[in-house]
Amino acid sequence: MKLNNYILSFFFIWCGYTLTAQEEPVNLGDKTQVSIKSGYWEKKPDVPDAVIYTRDKSGQVYITHEGVEIWCNQAYVYTKDNFVKAYGAVKIIQGDTVSMKSDYSEYNGNTQFAFASGKVSFKDKKTSLKTDTLYFDRIKQQAYYNSGGIVRDSSSILTSIVGRYFAKSKKYQFSSNVEIKNPKYTINSEQLDFFSETGIAYLYGKSTIIGKTSTVYCERGYYNTRKDIGYFVKNSRVDYENRIMYGDSIYFNRNRNFASATNNIRIIDTLNNSYVRGHYAEVFKDKDSVFITKRAVAITVQENDSIYIHADTLKITGKPDRRILKGFYKARFFKRGLPGEEPTSGKCDSIFVNESTGITKLLRNPILWSGENQMTGDTIHLLRNINTKKLDTLKVYNNSFLIQKDSAGYNQVKGERLIGLFTNNELDTINIKKNTQVIFFSRNENEKLVGINNTTSSSIQMYLENQKIRGVRFIKKVNGKLYPPSQFPENTRILPGFKWFGDERLLKVRDLFKEKPAPILPKIKGINLPKKEEDFFNNNPIKYN
């Protein structure tokens, strides 16, 4: 009986001790004490400042504090410091916003600052993060890691060395070796902000988006990883295998294989050694199509020379070996020629160029200048040798008219059809057929005027040297006369249908835009630089000492 009384007395003393350990009040000022809701507890001499709670048959240790819940297999609770060390299958949940799992965690009730290590998993509603160590500031509602992390959402996997999560804006901020992996593409960036609610990634610094059929480069832009559309504004370009598009701003749609650019555009055709410029352009990769406007010009680079084609709107279609260029409205072209050569240029309403056949068609009110020679007709065709890329043949259909200015007047030839032949890009022979008429100021070898030929013939052949008429051969001459210079009648000096457009002739590249006002360029919608955040660890300890 005495033994039983002794044991019972010891039990009540022990219980009294435990209740005192649990309920001893601690003055934390305006801070709230962490609350232990379940778990078997004990005190150990080697950890005098901590109460140790261990899971029991009812389940894990359960702790709460101002909206956060913590579960673990064992917890060291430092009551005076309002601090918890949690071990084994740790889970921290903050309402319905974020949850965190790890092997080990620390939580400071005074600063509401948490640290987790060992197989850390951090989740919000749309994404999950895995890392070795993670810091979570509940006051700032931010998480941070600097030991490498992997973030997964519904469509992509994001990796970086350093990352920061902002719970209020659902934003991840990544830096150092940032990469997004998607079955369709890979994004690499120096710095990247990713919004988990929308799946939009903002790219800062040198960034690439590499897909199966395209590569994007920019130094500032955004990409929607769920809709596969993007917008890029700094040093931006899109590489579609054999075409590269540059512009002040570029819109990109992966699903449509489409890109458009605004202001200061270049689109390079890497296979055909050509490019186009303008201030608005669209590229449809699947259609092998380019549309460009606002001071649009296409340039074909050739050995020692280039051909420039301008129109209000240019459209280029077809595979690389079958490219077709169409220019609509107020079309012009210019070919500089080799040193010492006169340029070749032209104007028309519309222009058509077929790379595979080497034909260029000037349509509706065409004018062609080859050196000093002005040629007009209903339609003009220029043919290039597809191997040498040099001009080969000129054809003018219906109402052909050639005019060359002379110091004494105008050399003129008209007929139904004109065919010209080129040697080394220089027009040297012209054949005019059917109902031809000629006015030709004939000069001797000293350039002295010796007579004026006014003749009608079924066809005429003319010979040029240095792009000037040097001789005329009449085939089936019908009627004509060589007049002395003083006897040439004034009223016959101009053939019917004569129109001189010498003032409109293009003499240099910039004449492509002569009398055309510069386009009004839209203001590019920019993308702000990322907000400079304060240091994550300001006023917060990293871990308990």
Query: pLDDT tens for residues 336-375?
Result: 877 777 788 999 999 999 988 889 999 999 999 988 889 9
Nearest to 215 by CA among 192, 246, 191: 246
Q: How many CB atoms lie within 10 A of CB 294?
A: 19
CB proximity list for 56: less than 8 A, separation 6 or greater? 38, 39, 40
pLDDT by residue (tens digit) across 427-485? 888 899 888 888 988 888 788 888 888 888 888 888 888 777 777 888 776 777 888 88
Per-residue pLDDT band for 381 (boundaries 50, 70, 90) equals very high
Q: Please check whether residue 314 is in contact with residue 323, taking contact to mean a CB–CB distance below 8 angstroms.
A: no
- The CATH superfamily holding the domain 312-515 is Lipopolysaccharide (LPS) transport protein A like domain (2.60.450.10)
Whether the per-residue pLDDT at 539 is higher than 90: the answer is no
**pLDDT the model gives residue 15:** 38
Name the β-bridge partners of 281: 261, 292
pLDDT by residue (tens digit) across 50-71? 999 999 989 999 999 999 999 9
Per-residue pLDDT band for 204 (boundaries 50, 70, 90) equals very high
Q: Please check whether residue 117 is in contact with residue 107, taking contact to mean a CB–CB distance below 8 angstroms.
A: no
pLDDT by residue (tens digit) across 157-200? 999 999 999 999 999 999 888 999 999 999 999 999 999 999 99
Residue position matching structure tokens 């010796």:
450
What secondary structure letter does DSSP report for 33? P
Q: How many CB atoms lie within 10 A of CB 10?
A: 10
Bigger pLDDT: 468 vs 392? 392
The dihedrals phi and psi of 335, each to the nearest 5 degrees, come to -130, 120
Where b means 16+ CB within 10 Å and e means fewer, 390-407 reads bbbebbbbeebbbbbebe
Report the alpha-carbon distance of residue 99 to residue 115 in Å, rounded.
13
Report the alpha-carbon distance of residue 379 to residue 371 in Å, rounded.
19
**pLDDT the model gives residue 473:** 82
Name the β-bridge partners of 66: none
**Upper half-sphere CA count for residue 301 (Cβ side, 13 Å):** 9
Mean pLDDT check: name the lowest of 24-38, 379-393, 515-529.
Answer: 24-38
Q: Please check whether residue 413 is in contact with residue 402, taking contact to mean a CB–CB distance below 8 angstroms.
A: yes
Whether the per-residue pLDDT at 306 is higher than 80: the answer is yes
DSSP strands (E only) in 55-141: 61-65, 68-72, 74-78, 83-94, 98-108, 113-123, 128-137
Please name the amino acid found at residue 376: T
Q: Please check whether residue 162 is in contact with residue 176, taking contact to mean a CB–CB distance below 8 angstroms.
A: yes
Report the alpha-carbon distance of residue 119 to residue 403 in Å, rounded.
86
**pLDDT the model gives residue 194:** 94
Domain segments of the chain as ranges: 312-515
Nearest to 275 by CA among 236, 243, 249: 243
Report the alpha-carbon distance of residue 378 to residue 362 in Å, rounded.
9
pTM beyond 0.75: the answer is: yes
